[in-house]
Every structure is written in structure tokens, then in C-alpha cells.
Amino acid sequence: MHPRDLSDHSPYVPGRGVEEVARERGLDPDDLIKLSSNENPHGPSPAAVEAIREHADRVHQYPKSSHTDLTVKLAEKWNVEPEQVWVSPGADGSIDYLSRAAISPGDAVLVPNPGFAYYAMSARYHHGDVAEYELDPTDGFAQDAETVLEAYGSERIVYVTSPHNPTGATMSLSAIETLADATAPETLVVVDEAYGEFAEIDSAIPLVDERDDVAVLRTFSKAYGLAGLRIGYSVVPESWGEAYARVNTPFAANELACRAALAALDDEAHVAESVETARWAREYITDELDAPTVDSAGNFVLARVGDAERVADAAQERGVIIRDCTSFGLPEHIRISTGTRTETPEAVETLNEILAELDLGVRA
């Protein structure tokens, strides 16, 4: 007995963690700077931590009330109906819910390359096919409607990531409208705004209330610092609302995650500090790193260093964990998450020393 043929499925490759690098390199975890997974260097909101403590003795109960409360609060935040908010275990969970709701065997999705691997993974799990549109590195990985439409073939779902991972590029609201207008009525344009808080552009969520062919993904993993709790959501057209009960994994968003998210939503100061630090750090990296970078609206910067594997390996040896972007199909690029005002200069200094020593022929 064997599982079905999964040879078309590429595993998701996460950024390396502090503990595994420390064990492998024989380093003290406290001496490492982790800038590989686009996490919030300020950690979670203190209010979220307190909410976890306060509700820890209730984890024997299913999260019915907290899930409902979070749904209502998010609906109020975005001025939509509660039925339009699909709370999920991370934004990844919402990707699965939309796949379940939209994809029949043989349907296809259109995804960016490079891009987040889980769009394609989820489609294939649900017996769908995958097509790609290419983002051009010579054009700064610019995202526009024309680039997507050139590859479009009436796919059931079209994914747009804004800000895009790993490049940090955005797609304007007008371009998203153009894309949605130009695609077939049965195509759902899904805008992944996991890094939306860091960008100085408008969210696409208002479009969801105006039309039935746009949905938006959001998460508490980044600006809110709750990555370890796996809590996110999507905002879907009102006509899609009733599908949630048919595709939602029962009680998938756990009690402590929902309670922490509720508290984090109220801690606007923590989000503001996180966003401000990320914007400062990405500007610092862009200005000070001795390698060409891509304009980013996220909490990370993509840099072309010539040989990502060698640079990332050398950085780990010196206590700085960054993302080798070979798994994104970008073997010459590294992605550097924004750190604190102390971590970021230290990491950039280390990387500059490595770039000088390796002399890979790349200069900013």
C-alpha cells in the first residue's frame, strides 16, 4: 500500500530555524540573528501573550465563541459582512478553503513565478492543474495586469501576491481591477496581502464588496507577530459566504490563536512599531548592502549576490540566518528579513564582509 502519485508535488521549503542552525553549526542560539522567515523581530503583542495566558485553561473546549468573535471583529475592521470573513489556520488554510470551494478536477490555477509554492501545492492537492506567469528580474519583478493576462488561459483561480514574496513588488488597486475585468466571470482573482500592513498601498478588500470575482488573503503571522499560532483569514465575495461551512475544517483555528488575534487587533501601537521598524530596516538594507536589491514593500529585501547558497552558508557560519532563494528559482538571490535596529546593521555588516571575501562579481 502506497500513497497516490505525488511526484508532481514540490515540498514547501521554509526558512531555516535558529535551533536547527545552532545544532548544525555548534553555535549558541542566543548569538544567532534570524532573518530568513519574514517574522516579526518584536515578537507578538504583549496583549496577545496575556490573552494566551488568560485563556490557556480553556483549551479543553472547542473554539466556537472565540472563532465567532474574531470573525465579527474582522468584519467590522474591513466593513464587510461576517459571512465574508473565512478565519483559517494561517492564510495557507484559506488557500485550501478557496481551492475546495472553487476547483473541480482538471480546473487550473495561474500563479506567479517566482512565488509562494503553496498556491500550486493546494491546487494539486485538490486535483487541479497549475499554470504560471513569469515575473521578470530585469524589470524589477514588476507586477501589472498585462503580465498576468499574457499567460492567462481562463484558469479558475488567478493568484496575485501584493506585496509579492520574495521580491516585495506590489500590484496597484487599479491593475487588480483591470485584471479582474479582463478575466472570465468564472475566474476568481485572489490577492494575497500577507504583507499588506507593511505596504503603502490600498488593500484590495474594498473590491470584494463591489464584485463577486475577487477575494483577499490576510494573516496574523507577519505584522502581528503570531506566526507560531497559525491564524489568518480571507475576505470573500458575499455570494461565496455560505460555502465556508461546507469547506472549513472543523475548529481548525484554535482557541488560543483566536484569542491572541483578538487581542492583537486592539494593540495598534505594536503593529505601528512593527511596520515602522520594517520600513526603516528595508531602507537600511537597500542603502547599505553591497549588492543590488529589489524595491520592496514587505518586511524583507531581495538581493542579487551571485551565489545564494555560498553566501547563505557563510552567513550561517557567522551567526546570521538569511534565505537562500534557490527554492524560488532564484539561485543568485538571497532574501533578508527586516530585523530590529540592532540586528539589521549587524547582519548587513556581516553580509558585506562575506561578499567582499567571496568576491562573486556583484556590486550594488
**Residue 13 pLDDT greater than 90, yes or no:** no
User: How far apart are alpha carbons 74 and 265 in whole angstroms?
Assistant: 9
Q: What is the mean pLDDT of residues 125-148?
A: 95
For 132-165, letters b (16+ CB in 10 Å) and e give ebebebeeebbbebebbeebbeebbbbbbbbbbb
User: How far apart are alpha carbons 337 and 18 in whole angstroms?
Assistant: 14
pLDDT in tens, 144-166: 999 999 999 999 999 999 999 99
What's residue 315's pLDDT?
Answer: 96
Q: Greater confidence, 9 or 248?
A: 248
Mean pLDDT lowest for which of 11-20, 118-127, 194-203? 11-20
pLDDT in tens, 275-292: 999 999 999 999 999 999
**Cα dist from 290 to 140, 283, 300, whole Å:** 18, 13, 16
User: How far apart are alpha carbons 171 and 203 in whole angstroms?
Assistant: 10
What's residue 7's pLDDT?
Answer: 75
What's residue 235's pLDDT?
Answer: 98
**Residue 176 pLDDT greater than 90, yes or no:** yes
The whole-model pTM stands at: 0.95
**Residue 31 pLDDT greater than 80, yes or no:** no
pLDDT band, very low/low/confident/very high, at 124 (cuts 50, 70, 90): very high
Say if residues 284 and 344 touch (Cβ distance below 8 Å): yes
pLDDT in tens, 183-240: 999 999 999 999 999 999 999 999 998 899 999 999 999 999 999 999 999 999 999 9
pLDDT band, very low/low/confident/very high, at 18 (cuts 50, 70, 90): low
DSSP class of residue 248 equals S
What's residue 2's pLDDT?
Answer: 75
For 213-240, letters b (16+ CB in 10 Å) and e give bbbbbbbbbbbbbbbebbbbbbbbbeeb
Mean pLDDT of the chain: 94
Contacts of 293 (CB under 8 A, 6+ apart): 285, 286, 301, 302, 303, 304, 364
Q: What is the mean pLDDT of residues 29-48?
A: 91
Q: What is the mean pLDDT of residues 238-246?
A: 93
SS3 of residue 19 by DSSP: helix
Say if residues 84 and 208 touch (Cβ distance below 8 Å): yes
**Cα dist from 16 to 22, 89, 230, 311, whole Å:** 10, 21, 18, 14
> How long is the chain?
364
**Residue 363 pLDDT greater than 80, yes or no:** no
* Domains of the chain: residue spans and CATH: 18-37+269-357 (3.90.1150.10), 48-266 (3.40.640.10)
What's residue 22's pLDDT?
Answer: 61
pLDDT in tens, 338-357: 999 999 999 999 999 999 99
Say if residues 45 and 345 touch (Cβ distance below 8 Å): no
What's residue 5's pLDDT?
Answer: 77
What's residue 8's pLDDT?
Answer: 75
**Residue 136 pLDDT greater than 80, yes or no:** yes
**Amino acid at residue number 107:** D
**Residue 21 pLDDT greater than 90, yes or no:** no
Q: What is the secondary structure of 293-313 as a DSSP string?
A: B---SSSEEEEE-S-HHHHHH
Mean pLDDT lowest for which of 25-29, 44-48, 107-111, 203-207? 25-29
pLDDT band, very low/low/confident/very high, at 15 (cuts 50, 70, 90): confident
SS3 of residue 205 by DSSP: helix
pLDDT band, very low/low/confident/very high, at 28 (cuts 50, 70, 90): low
**Amino acid at residue number 45:** S
Contacts of 317 (CB under 8 A, 6+ apart): 25
User: How far apart are alpha carbons 166 and 169 in whole angstroms?
Assistant: 8
What's residue 360's pLDDT?
Answer: 77
**Cα dist from 276 to 18, 165, 199, 340, whole Å:** 25, 19, 11, 10
